Every structure is written in structure tokens, then in C-alpha cells.
Amino acid sequence: MREEEKILSGILFNPGDPELKALKLRSHRLSAEYSRSDEAETEYRSRLLRQLLAAFGEGSFLQGPVFFHYGCHTRIGKRCFFNYNLTIQDDAPVTIGDDNNFGPNLTIVTPLHPMLPDERKQMLDGNGCPKRFCYAKPVRIGNDCWFGANVVVCPGVTIGDGCVIGAGSVVTRDVPPLSFAAGNPCRVIRPITEADSMNRKPDVLADNHVMPR
């Protein structure tokens, strides 16, 4: 089994494998090119993202700078906005739905390492050869979510549709749909309901109107 297949199967893999190193080097170069580009260079940026990512939906925007570890393991839906300093360490697949908004310094990580120092340093592969190993768990983010600044999403987490994640949160476990969650570690504070409508905040709404549902 190829090392990339091991990643996608959720088992230990060797991150120093030459094929994986080539994928990462390509992604790092494309990430760096995107980060150096001007946001007005829309066609150039679109071309880079088509090379870099598995999918990038129409109407989505990455402010930059960005860093993708593999790139080809990340799928981004339509009409998403990512503010400054996006980092996605996508050893395992990262799937992001439609109509999401992310504040600055979003970090999504999928790899995990052995807890014991000697196992983290070296283990034996199936042929008895000493190597370094890690493993990874996928991250999934639904549709219509809003993340504040400096959010970290940890390996294996699923965040449901319509969630709000507070600034500075470290999300270590799943968040159900239509939840407001925050903290380190992140926990669900309460469900999001009609009581959160801007109609309930006339001083902020001013002379604007909520769209009819």
C-alpha cells in the first residue's frame, strides 16, 4: 500500500516517504506563490488554486497569505471567505462546505503523532525497518458557518451546518449543527435560535431589514 493510501485509510504512515515529500513540496511552492500574489491578480490566483486544491468552489475567496501542507487533500465549497493567514495541514482530507466565513489566523490540522517519546522518534515498519510515523484524521466543516479570529480545528473534528465558533477557540470535538461554541477546549455554549435574529437588535439593525424567510 502506498503511503498516501495509508493516510486516507487512517493508519500509520511515513511522512518522509519520497512521494509524499514531493506532494508537500509542490503544495508549499504553490502556497508561497499565492501568498506573494496581489489580490487583484484574480486570474493568476484562480489558476494557482486549481493546481493546488482538490476543489475550490465558485465565488470563494482566500485573502492570503495561505499555507497548505498537501493541498490536494482539501476541498472548499462555494462562496466561502477566508481572512488573513489561513493554514490547513491536510494530511487527511479536509472538506469545507458552502457559504462559510472565517476570521484571521484559521488553522486546521489533521495529523496526529504517537504520545510516547520513543514511539514518536522511531518505530519499525512491516519489514522491520526503523522509520518515523504519524497518522491523520479528516476534518469536515458544513455550510453557513462563521468562525471568529484565531480558531484552531483539531484532527477528526466535524462541525455541523450553521455553527458559530468564537474567537480563540480550540475545537477538539464535534460541534452539532446550529450551535454557538467557544473556548479552549471549545464547548457548545448554546443552540442558535430565532432569538438570535437581528430583528431582536433594533439598535444595531437601524433602518435595515432582515430578508424574508
Q: Go through the chain and tell me how many residues it has.
A: 213
- The catalytic residue among 28, 69, 73, 113 is 113
Mean pLDDT of all residues belonging to the chain: 96
Mean pLDDT over residues 177-198, rounded? 96
pLDDT at 212 over 90: no
pLDDT in tens, 44-72: 999 999 999 999 999 999 999 999 999 99
Question: Residue 146: how many CA atoms within 13 Å on its side-chain side?
Answer: 7
pLDDT in tens, 64-101: 999 999 999 999 999 999 999 999 999 999 999 999 99
With H, G, I as helix, E, B as strand and everything else as coil, classify residue 93.
coil
Distances (CA, A) of 191 to 38, 161, 165, 173, 213: 39, 12, 12, 16, 19
Distances (CA, A) of 190 to 62, 103, 193, 207: 30, 21, 9, 29
pLDDT at 181 over 90: yes
What residues contact 199, with CB distance under 8 A and at least 6 apart? 205, 210
pLDDT in tens, 99-143: 999 999 999 999 999 999 999 999 999 999 999 999 999 999 999
What residues contact 121, with CB distance under 8 A and at least 6 apart? 132
Confidence of residue 205 (pLDDT cuts 50, 70, 90): confident
Confidence of residue 38 (pLDDT cuts 50, 70, 90): very high
How many Å apart are CA 174 and CA 176, to the nearest integer? 7
How many Å apart are CA 89 and CA 87, to the nearest integer? 6
pLDDT at 54: 98
DSSP conformational letter for 134: B
pLDDT at 118: 96
Look up the CATH architecture of domain 3-205. 3 Solenoid (2.160)
Are the beta carbons of 157 and 138 closer than 8 angstroms? no
How many Å apart are CA 88 and CA 52, to the nearest integer? 12
Domains of the chain by residue range: 3-205
pLDDT at 175 over 90: yes
pLDDT at 60: 97
Mean pLDDT over residues 190-199, rounded? 93
Residue 175's Cα: distance from chain center in Å?
A: 15
Residue type at 75 in one-letter notation = R
113 is catalytic: yes
